[in-house]
Amino acid sequence: MVEKKKNLSDCKPVKLPNPQSVRIGVVVSEWNDTITYAMRDGALQTLMDAGIDTNNIKVCSVPGSFELPTAAVMMLESDDKIDGVICIGCVIQGETRHFEFISHAVADGIVRAGVDYATPVIFGVLTCDTLQQAQDRSGGKHGNKGVEAAVSCLKMIALERKLRNS
């Protein structure tokens, strides 16, 4: 029998050597902003708790989840020398197939950005059937996926630094 976890965000951040030197971009969709801003806030708090200097966290907004991959690439190509990008969005199923097209395009774009730049580009995008499911995962009873995205980003940066220095 499969056990359902109540708080899915029960994850442990990694300790980074010299976290003050880490530069992270956070791209947030304005669509479904009550959800995405709660996820953004969870991600930012997690980064600060890990010792990331707030001056080294660059946050920008985009109109919707579809624009997340493009903004991630823009951040990676900026002069800010970003070590990782967290993409935060929320797509909720409607009556048409639009949900499927957006969800697939966003996932593919985020993966492509990470692979093309060999830099962590984290998929912090909720793809839910209902608003309630999104609320439950953006600080509700199932935790905050923004926290999980931040932890994933930190762990991938730590892995990259370990591999580079080994």
Residues identified as active-site:
98
Task: Give the sheet arrangement for strand 57-62, strand by strand.
Answer: 57-62, 24-29, 84-92, 121-128
Helix (H) or strand (E) holding 116: helix 98-117
Q: Give dist(CA 78, CA 16) in Å, integer.
A: 23
Residue with tokens 């976290």: 19
Bridge-based pairing state of the strands 138-140 and 143-144:
antiparallel
